[in-house]
Amino acid sequence: MDTKRLVILGGGYAGIEAAKTLYKKYKKNDKVEITLIDKNTYHTLMTELHEVAGSRVEPDSVMVSYQRIFSGTNINLVTDVITGIDFETRKLKSDKAEYDYDYLVLGTGGAPEFFDIEGVQENSFSLWSLEDAMRIREHFEERFRLAANEPDESLKAQMLTFVVAGAGFTGIELIGEFIERRDVLCAKYHIPVKDVRMVVVEALDSVLPIIEEPLRKKAVKYLKKKGAEIILNARITGAAEGKILLADGSEIKTDTFIWTCGIHGSEFTSKINLTKGHTARGECSIASAEGIHGMCGCRFDEDERYVVGKRGRILVNEYMQTDDYENVYAVGDNLWFVEKEKVLPQIVETALQTGETAAENIIAEIEGNDKKAFESNYHGFMVSIGGKYAVSNAGGMKTSGFMAMAMKHLVNLHYLFGVAGINAIWGYLKHEFFDMKDRRTFIGGHLSWKIQGWWAVPLRVWLGLMWVFEGINKIGEGWFNFSAGSKSGWMFSSGVLQKGVKPAADAYSAASGAGETAVEAAGHADMTAVFDSAMPNPQHGSDAVSAASDYAAGAAEAVVEAAADTVSAASDSAAVAVEAAADAVSAASDYAADAAGAAADTAGQVFGKIWDLGNNIIPYESGFVTWFRETFMDGIAAYIHYPVFQVMIVLVEIGIGLALMGGCFTFIAAGVSIIMCLVFTFSGMFAWDQAWFVFAAFLLLGGAGRSLGLDHWIMPAIKRWWNGTKLARRTHWFVGEPKTRNK
């Protein structure tokens, strides 16, 4: 078939899902080209923008680069701003290029809806992009800084009044972040907490209308406990510089007014010739001293729903195809689809599911199969109120507080794993827990407190020295003297022979045979000498032998008698000395025993014997040790030739020690150290007073070699090399960002 060009415009939740679904199908098909076009080089985690706005996390925590997401794939990544689309010629146009397509997925997202309320867009902040979050973040702290030096109490009160319009997910999550940030900034700028006013204004009669009443009540209770004001049934009728106007005629003076009351079509949808399912009522963007707020668009009446000029949501059918072109699909926040008399909500699950449906139907078109109609499947909702509290209804399980917050983190981790694998998960854990400031997590600061790396240097060197000594001691014990047999047999079950070790019966037989041969040879040599001296004259030889025998007998008798006298004298002297020594030792022993007994009794009465650190952690005779020996040592290690096995253990121990002492590959050395200790422990030969090896190694896993160690230079070089490998790209096991792909 001819090459099919599949283009996804927009790298939001829906666009990413569509691209991944298409790639999974066509990753080995060179007749299909997949291109993702976005104005940014990164995917923004829109559901976490409130954390950036409230300074809980850094801006890069919500940025997942497309290089990370699509590393190891052949998806074309294009950074460009598309200004228009010619649907007849199938071209996307920007100021610098044109892009052809056969199938197009529109995932350009939505934008805030201001409902044409006078002054709102000009005088409010919105939270719909990373740039919006950064503006709010900087403005929020600036109010505290200015208020700390403001002598006019009315102006100071206005600076310290923060109003969030809208009590939906975004509004409640943002006010929760503000409350936590308030406490930090009040301490920093010495402002009483009571002087800061946090206000939520909602036109409806409840907060979070999409979740159940019990959870709403818990959310309200928590917010009020933290000092937030919640004003319900309060429709905003206008805004001006420094104030907002309510329907009852009252006003709230504030320098910080954040609008979170609705989402609609984006500026881009007003520029393309597609039928809208519903149009927006907002004005075009307003430029102010704070920058561009919200979206661009034009004002239109509700009955004007057609094509160019209207900022609205694009009408699609059940296959996510637009009403005007079958090869153009719309996904995510910018579509309009009514399911069971309800418009699809603009939430992440809608984006993911519509993105997948559109991609599967494009595949069906290409393959000539039947298309699949969209069917939503929502699993629940989770709303965090700061970093320590949340309410959740996930899968029918309604929770609040700790459990709800944990559930929210798990859902985020699940999504990130699907997007960028373990790399994204590690980044999330760092931002949300390990690098968190001001203890703003539901587990406090227990995972974020850090020690300086140089504090661990003495421990690292000492642990390394101990491993070197362990290896050297084994050499001294004969582990390299293979003629003496195996020195590592204690690690195996009784009766199990390592490879290369001869059975005991064979060794005994060989030794016995050698001994008998030697005795026989010696006896034969002696007798031959005697007979040789006698052979010239047999008679004379007989006389000589007789004379020699008599002489030898006499000499032997004299020697024996003299020796007996000497031994007797020595025995008498020794007996006297031994008796005296025995008396002295007995007296000393009695005294020492009495003293030791008294001390032991005293210590026993005061302390008692708590723990014998010399005992093995797991007894050698225990069932677990037996199972471990039989399963791993007898079944695997016994087949390694014992000289090789012993050399390997000694070299590993010395290698661990040298690596730790030099701070070279410290993570690996510490990890192997832990494994070695566990093997010895499970073999029943590791005592409690050696357990510090394990705990010290755990501490060193945290990059201890980068401080006054070779890892300071080695690790960055390895990181650069590894991030450029194909394996790292395919598995997402790169560290930080992968190397930029050159195409």
Domain boundaries, the chain: 4-39+80-111+269-369, 114-261+380-444, 455-500+618-709
**47-to-6, 8, 43 alpha-carbon distances in Å:** 28, 21, 12
Q: Give backbone dihedrals phi and psi of 423, rounded to 5 degrees, phi first.
A: -60, -45
Q: Rounded mean pLDDT of 52-62?
A: 96
Q: Rounded mean pLDDT of 13-42?
A: 96
Paired tokens of 574: 């020794």
pLDDT at 458: 94
Residue 681, C-beta contacts closer than 8 angstroms, at least 6 positions apart = 617, 618
Mean pLDDT rounded to a whole number for the chain: 83
Say if 4-39+80-111+269-369 and 114-261+380-444 have the same CATH topology: yes
Give the largest CA-CA distance in the chain. Answer: 154
Calpha distance 179→182 (Å, rounded): 5
Q: Which residues of 666-692 are buried (b: 16+ CB within 10 A; e: fewer)?
A: bbebbbbbbebbebbbbbbbbeeebee
Calpha distance 490→629 (Å, rounded): 10
Residue with tokens 């890069």: 60
Calpha distance 399→389 (Å, rounded): 11
pLDDT at 600: 54
Specify the CATH number for 4-39+80-111+269-369; select among 3.30.43.10, 3.40.50.300, 3.60.70.12, 3.50.50.60: 3.50.50.60
Beta strands (DSSP E) in 571-705 are none
Considering the segment(s) 114-261+380-444 as one domain, its CATH architecture is 3-Layer(bba) Sandwich (3.50)
Most confident of 137-146, 394-403, 505-514, 534-543: 137-146
The closest alpha carbon to 657, from 643, 642, 684, 676, belongs to: 676
The closest alpha carbon to 103, from 39, 32, 40, belongs to: 32
- pLDDT tens for each residue of 434-473: 999 988 998 888 888 888 888 899 999 999 999 999 999 9
**CB contact at 8 A, 350 and 126:** no
pLDDT at 663: 94
Paired tokens of 13: 């939740």
Who has greater pLDDT, 490 or 306? 490
Q: Rounded mean pLDDT of 696-713?
A: 92
Residue with tokens 């587990």: 443
Residue with tokens 């020195």: 487
Confidence class for position 583, pLDDT limits 50, 70, 90: low
**CB contact at 8 A, 106 and 328:** yes
Is the pLDDT at 603 greater than 70, yes or no? no
pLDDT at 214: 95
Confidence class for position 491, pLDDT limits 50, 70, 90: confident
Is the pLDDT at 521 greater than 60, yes or no? no
DSSP 346-368: -SHHHHHHHHHHHHHHHHHHHHT
Paired tokens of 360: 């599967």
Is the pLDDT at 596 greater than 80, yes or no? no
Long-range contacts of 213-216 (CB under 8 A, 24+ apart): 214/398, 215/391, 215/392, 215/393, 215/398, 215/400, 216/391
pLDDT at 604: 54
Q: Rounded mean pLDDT of 22-34?
A: 95
**CB contact at 8 A, 113 and 299:** no
Which residues partner with 258 through β-bridges? 125, 164
Calpha distance 197→179 (Å, rounded): 10
Look up the pTM and report it: 0.76
Who has greater pLDDT, 647 or 544? 647
Calpha distance 648→638 (Å, rounded): 13
Residue 262, C-beta contacts closer than 8 angstroms, at least 6 positions apart = 112, 113, 114, 115, 166
Q: Rounded mean pLDDT of 81-87?
A: 95
pLDDT at 355: 98
pLDDT at 652: 95
Q: Rounded mean pLDDT of 517-544?
A: 40
Beta strands (DSSP E) in 635-729 are none
Per-residue DSSP letter, 211 = S
pLDDT at 498: 78
Paired tokens of 477: 């014990």
Residue with tokens 């995932």: 107
Q: Rounded mean pLDDT of 185-205?
A: 97
**CB contact at 8 A, 659 and 649:** no
Calpha distance 223→146 (Å, rounded): 26
Q: Give backbone dihedrals phi and psi of 421, rounded to 5 degrees, phi first.
A: 65, -155
Count the residues in the chain: 743
pLDDT at 579: 58
**655-to-462, 550, 647, 702, 712 alpha-carbon distances in Å:** 14, 71, 12, 20, 19
